[in-house]
Amino acid sequence: MYKIILNISLAILMLSLNLDANEEQPETTGNTIFAQIDDLTITENEFEEIFKTAVRHKYYHGRVPEEELKKFKKKVAEDIVIQIIVHRDAQKLGLIPDHKIIAQGLNDYDAKYADNPEWQIRRDWVMPLLTKRLERQNLLEKMEAKKKNLPNPEADQITKYYEKYSEKFTEPKRV
């Protein structure tokens, strides 16, 4: 599911760029708020656009099987929240995107679509968005690597945690 997080990051990026440009809450007139994460508001319409993007990436025919729809929608919503929080945590930790990797990604993308006339028309508009997306993706990957490299706790740390939060390790009485 982590790949879906990366794939929908462009939609979230555009949402955050819109907020950065306005530095205000988005208009929610006629549109209910889907989620509020600190100062970031995601409307239902914005969520639906992100959801449609996630569906196109995961399901070949662009349709979620009815029995999976509710579960998939919930997972996409969770992924959005997790991605935003992890990205903000990466920024708080002072992580910096690897600009060599980003430049290579931009060059690859530019080379891939060099012969496409539509790309030539939209290139100047898309490149800044793509740069932000690749920076966000790079920070998310760095946080994922950081999480995987966490050391296991020492035995005395485990004991102290258990003693401090022993109520979390009890079972209710059974009759």
Please give the pLDDT value at position 28.
43
Position 155 pLDDT exceeds 70 = yes
List the domain boundaries for the chain: 2-150
Residue listed under structure tokens 């399901």:
59
pLDDT for 134 beyond 90: yes
Predicted local distance difference test score (pLDDT) of residue 75 = 92
Q: Which residues contact 107 (CB under 8 A, 6 or more apart)?
A: none
Q: Which of 2 and 113 is assigned the larger pLDDT?
A: 113
Dihedral sign of CA atoms 162, 165, 166, 168 in order: negative
Residue bearing tokens 């903000």 = 88
User: From 3.30.530, 1.10.10, 1.10.3470, 1.10.4030, which CATH number describes the 2-150 domain?
Assistant: 1.10.4030
Q: Binning pLDDT at 50, 70 and 90, where does residue 96 land?
A: very high
**Could you please report the per-residue DSSP string of 92-123?**
HTT----HHHHHHHHHHHHHHTTT-HHHHHHH
**Mean pLDDT along residues 90-113:** 93
86 near 140, Cβ under 8 Å?
yes
pLDDT of residue 2: 43
pLDDT in tens, 42-57: 889 889 988 888 888 8
| Contact between 8 and 54 (Cβ < 8 Å) | yes
The terminus-to-terminus CA distance of the chain in angstroms comes to 41
Q: Nearest-CA neighbor of 84 among 7, 45, 140, 4?
A: 140
